[in-house]
Amino acid sequence: MTVPRILVVDDEADLRELVEITLLKMGLDVDSADCLASARALLQQHDYALVLTDMRLPDGMGIELVREVAGAGRNIPIAVITAFGSAENAVTALKAGAFDYLSKPVGLDQLRMLVQSALRISAAPAAPGKAAPAAAAGAGAALRLMGESALMRDLRAQIVRLARSMAPIAITGESGTGKELAARDIHAQSARADKPFVAVNCGAIPESLMEAEFFGYRKGAFTGAAEDRDGFFQAANGGTLLLDEVADLPLAMQVKLLRAIQERRVRKVGATVEEPVDVRLVSATHQNLAECVEKGRFRQDLYYRLNVIELRLPPLRERLEDIGLLADAILARLASPGEARAQLTPEALMALRGYSFPGNVRELENVLERALAFANDDVIEVVDLALKTAGTSNADPEQPAPAVLANAGALASVAPLSASQAPPSPQASPLTECSAADAGPADAAADATAATAATAATAAAAPAGPVLPVSLPDHLDQVEREVICRALGQTRFNRTQAADLLGISFRQLRYRMQRLNIHEPE
């Protein structure tokens, strides 16, 4: 078995010797150089598992060596040694293609962790020139940044390249574009794939608990601390830590996080000593971090530490050609075990491709999940999709799209509660005389429901010509809202009983209440 060879480039003899001794004790072969010229000569002669170079050398800057090695396309991780507190140099080196960095004075624990990470990368096969297909984007994940558009192929190619570095990555993109999936892909493609991946929603942790959650605590550190507990950093040690919605971190926690990133050491609450941690940091947010910095809500120094490399995820409206592939995968996941996957009609697929999807892939999942509840014989029609109309295009993309209930099955769920509670039956009118030969089941059901909702007096006074609502979706929503409110009123807002009265599931009732903005009175 070939012993890995490391190249150390530094003009300080004492530091160079310290690093050499540490690496030799790890069972590695070591070559040394005191300037750029000597390093270049050695790189021509050997294949190295790692190059470790100082930033300042007698005949130039170590960043030059970083660019040369990275630009040559050789599968050689290169790390830099920077002066204490020189964060800008470290960020510059990482952006130039450096695998990682060490700060002076060099900590031997950090040096060993860096070398072990580099050896895992060197042992892995070289990154392919083209991105892996969607099915191979992650380790066994059924849904993981799928799509065959040019944007998605480029994105996967970036992920393959970024996975071979330790540089912090900031993933940006609108809500619902798959930022956590991208982070998982980076982890799965990296040499850390067999180590933990820990995802943290920074906006979901109470501020008073943040330090304990991130760094852990000792027994007795505070009331309720009955035993020692590791934090997120310790849980992700050796692997990847995703800081989701990082813009929601309070300023006090941002200071502590910055120190942990710079020192690569954390101190548990109630502890007196720090412990080293080895994590690859990935952050994600749908907010504009640069604007947050300008407004004073996010520290500039932390921003530069996290935003070394930015990975932008495109919104779904920029890659509508991927919708067919995404829809097939979502419907396959939603299918019950042993059942056939539901199919979209060509018209339904065309409707999806013509929609802007302000909620991105998450909204596509919601649309298809709702459509399955309305579809007949596992065939999803355009009416089952209930896409937003142009008048609701400015709705909050985080909220489910309002449904246009235009089929018989949907309308049956909002039928009158009982004969005694139903409004008086109207006299025959053009709305109720529409036969099956003149209109489809959806139109007939809609017209019948509209007529049922009218009062007898109104029906008697109706003009001879057809009376149609100005907006059918709004009209049907109003009918549904009234029936649900009556059911809730009768059951004193017991939603379980109301769902039983209406002949729908509790989940369906909850969804309809959210969509129609029905809340329990205070």
- Same domain (yes/no): 290, 365: no
- The answer as to whether 399 is a domain residue is no
Residue 277: CATH number of its domain: 3.40.50.300
Total domains present in the chain: 4
Q: Where are the beta strands (DSSP E) in 238-306?
A: 240-244, 265-266, 275-276, 280-285
Q: Is 447 exposed, middle or buried (0-12, 13-18, 19+ CB in 10 A)?
A: buried
* Residue 46 DSSP symbol: -
- The answer as to whether 466 is a domain residue is yes
Q: In 3-state terms, what secondary structure has residue 427?
A: coil
- Same domain (yes/no): 104, 9: yes
- Same domain (yes/no): 86, 175: no
Reported residue count of the chain is 522
- The answer as to whether 503 is a domain residue is yes
- Same domain (yes/no): 310, 322: no
- The answer as to whether 174 is a domain residue is yes
Domain boundary among 92, 123, 154: 123
Q: What is the pLDDT of residue 393?
A: 40
Domain boundary among 286, 314, 342: 314
pTM, two decimal places: 0.64
Segments of the chain scoring below 50 in pLDDT: 127-139, 141-143, 390-463
Question: Is the CB of residue 331 less than 8 Å from the CB of residue 148?
Answer: no
Alpha helices in 165-205 (DSSP H): 179-189
Determine the Cα–Cα distance for residues 168 and 160; give it in Å rounded to an integer: 15
Determine the Cα–Cα distance for residues 376 and 408; give it in Å rounded to an integer: 10
Helix axes 472-490 and 506-515, enclosed angle (nearest 10): 120
Beta-carbon contacts of 266 under 8 Å, excluding residues fewer than 6 positions away, are: 214, 215, 216, 231, 233, 234, 260, 274, 275, 277
- The answer as to whether 195 is a domain residue is yes
- Same domain (yes/no): 423, 325: no
Q: What is the pLDDT of residue 223?
A: 85
- Same domain (yes/no): 91, 109: yes
- Same domain (yes/no): 292, 165: yes
- Same domain (yes/no): 90, 73: yes
- Same domain (yes/no): 344, 300: no
- Same domain (yes/no): 257, 146: yes
> DSSP string spanning 429-487?
-TTT---TTTS-HHHHHHHHHHHHHS-HHHHHT--SS----S-HHHHHHHHHHHHHHHH
Residue 112: CATH number of its domain: 3.40.50.2300
- The answer as to whether 434 is a domain residue is yes
- Same domain (yes/no): 211, 291: yes
- Same domain (yes/no): 190, 73: no
Q: In 3-state terms, what secondary structure has residue 243?
A: strand
Q: How far is CA 420 from CA 368, 416, 417, 491, in A?
A: 37, 9, 8, 16
Q: What range defines the domain where residue 355 resides?
A: 317-392
- The answer as to whether 200 is a domain residue is yes
Which of 432, 516, 510 is CA-nearest to residue 474? 516
Beta-carbon contacts of 98 under 8 Å, excluding residues fewer than 6 positions away, are: 66, 70, 78, 79, 80, 165, 167
- The answer as to whether 93 is a domain residue is yes
Determine the Cα–Cα distance for residues 377 and 477; give it in Å rounded to an integer: 25
Q: What is the pLDDT of residue 144?
A: 78
Beta-carbon contacts of 343 under 8 Å, excluding residues fewer than 6 positions away, are: 331, 378, 379, 380
Domain boundary among 314, 340, 356: 314
Residue 356: CATH number of its domain: 1.10.8.60
